[in-house]
Structure 1
Amino acid sequence: MATLHLPLKGAYFDQIKSGEKIEEYRLVTPFWTKRLEGRAYDRIELAKGYPPKGDTSRRITRLWRGARKTTITHSH
């Protein structure tokens, strides 16, 4: 199974875990384009920072529902 691993800042991880935030956004850069376009994943693993391998409280695994390009306005 192919898994996309995404480390997140703590605030965004907590929002996703609580259900307040339902999507994760990445800048359209060559780095992310290479990892997302034309690729298929079975699941996505979101991590709060870079936790040790056995720390399941700081990891969320969900089914991969795909990626799409969109324009947003954000403070960061």
Structure 2
Amino acid sequence: MSTLHLPLKSIYFDQIKSGEKVEEYRKANPYWAKRLEGRSYFDIELTKGYPPKGDTSRRITRPWLGYRKTTITHPHFGPDPVEVYAIRVN
């Protein structure tokens, strides 16, 4: 199995690292459907932006725990409710 790589904005990376944030959201669209639906991963690698290969302080590797499809309202996606994949990262 492979690893799912998710580059994150600094604020979200820090929230996941501290345990405050337990799900990472990706908009439900054909791009993410192809990468998530019907697939399984060994683990998930979360990065703070796009760090150099040897920069371990900006990488978190966690086991793959799956995802759920849900509807949320979040400032990152605009003022209207939007369907997302909520990827478990805790």
Q: How does 1:2-41 map to 2 (within 5 A)?
A: 2-41=2-41
Distance in 1, Cα, partners of 2:3 & 2:21 = 21
CA RMSD, Structure 1 to Structure 2 (Å): 0.7
The percent identity for this pair of structures is 78
**TM-score, normalised relative to structure 2:** 0.82
SS of the residue 2:11 aligns to: helix
Hey, what does 1:43 align to over in structure 2?
Answer: 43
* Structure 1 runs, 4 residues or longer, greater than 6 Å off: none
Take 2:67 and 2:18, find their aligned partners in 1: how far apart are those partners? 21
- In structure 1, what is the Cα distance between the partners aligned to 2:52 and 2:39? 27
Distance in 1 (CA, whole Å) between partners of 2:39 and 2:75 is 29
Unaligned runs of 5+ in 2: 77-90
Which blocks of at least 5 consecutive residues in structure 1 are unaligned?
none
Q: What letter matches 2:5 in structure 1?
A: H
